[in-house]
Chain A
């Protein structure tokens, strides 16, 4: 009995203490104490965890670096391959767009038959403006055939081999094309220059030529078919004491960046040289 009493008393005291602590906690009086305890425990656990991870890293990093380097090399190779693929696809898209425009142009002018060709080079001499094409007489190309793009006139075939052709651009200094001005309803001669600029000559003084006039081939002389677009007049030079007016022409084709062209294969140029009178001996 003497032994049991204190144990009961202890139990009661502990229960009262527990109830008291719970009551204090429910009442919010132990918040600061519990925060202090929590912070201490969390801090200690963070320290232990960080050190443990540091030890694990120390033990496993060398293997990871090797595998990461290998993975990095693989990914870099993959990126390089994909970049190459992107460039190739961009190039194909550009080529497809150009070819699509050429096909549209060919469909819009069904009276002509065309052969598409790629520009593979330029004349070695800087005095001449010729380009070299990748098709020749094996594909039915003949000397004198006109060459165009979807935008307008490029030039005409000057020389042909079995698998290549040389084209004289209309910007060549020796080139002369008979043209007509759409708005002015007059004829003129389009000539090239060493700088690649185009100009109109032999325009009658009586005609009014204005900037913006569209320049088309006239078909006179038989060298080119009529109504091929060449460019637009940008400025006019009219001097009273000269026989003819002159005009500068903005070409519609960028001759420095031609990649693909169409050759009009059903056009037969007319050689009018025998009809030109020569001085009698």
Chain B
């Protein structure tokens, strides 16, 4: 059930991303709604389908984006792995973990994007890419992190209701 819910949630998020969020720029960076959703989902304590969600999100973005297909797929899987790791260690401060995953996840995905695009021959200047795209994108993702975390916590509470002791 929780894996099936990934399809409508992530398709809707991708539609929002391409139609709205990609047009809202800070310098030349933009927020990544899929990344933030996957990070927030993976940080929920009772969620067991984070890897499946990362696969679905990665495939959807790889299908739409001009990036090499393995970049979003590998990036999102890495982000979910990091979130699961952090969730076990800093479970008492979920928002702090959310900010940490959003920050490092954006950084990782952008590094992966820059180097894979450069390997494929795109003349991306690394310094400008970091200052004009990555840093503003990190800021936007951090801004998006709080409302998305709240939304995903509600969704997790609905899909994984807490067990009531008899």
| Chain A CB within 8 A of B17 CB | yes
Is the pair A130, B66 in contact by a Cβ cutoff of 8 Å? Answer: yes
A34, B67: Cα distance in complex, Å? 99
A130, B122: Cα distance in complex, Å? 14
Contacts of B15 in A (CB 8 A): 121
Is the pair B114, A174 in contact by a Cβ cutoff of 8 Å? Answer: no
Interface size class of A (residues with CB under 8 A): 20 to 34
Majority secondary structure of chain B interface residues (helix, strand, loop or mixed): helix
Is the pair A123, B66 in contact by a Cβ cutoff of 8 Å? Answer: yes
**Total A-B pairs, Cβ < 8 A:** 78
Number of residues from B at the complex interface, CB < 8 A: 33
Is the pair B133, A126 in contact by a Cβ cutoff of 8 Å? Answer: yes
With A174-B122, A194-B132, A195-B132 known as contacts, the answer to whether A125 contacts B66 (CB < 8 A) is yes
CB under 8 Å from chain B, chain A span 121-154: 121-128, 130, 132
Q: Mark A87-130, 1 if CB is under 8 A from B, else 0.
A: 00000000000000000000000000000000011111111101
Q: Mark A54-87, 1 if CB is under 8 A from B, else 0.
A: 0000000000000000000000000000000000
Contacts A124-B34, A195-B28 aside, 11 further interface pairs with beta carbons under 8 A come to A120-B18, A123-B22, A124-B18, A124-B22, A126-B22, A126-B29, A128-B67, A173-B117, A174-B121, A194-B125, A194-B132
Which chain B residues have a beta carbon within 8 Å of chain A's beta carbons?
A: 14-15, 17-19, 22-23, 25, 28-30, 32, 34, 61, 64-67, 72, 110, 113-114, 117, 121-125, 128-129, 132-133, 137
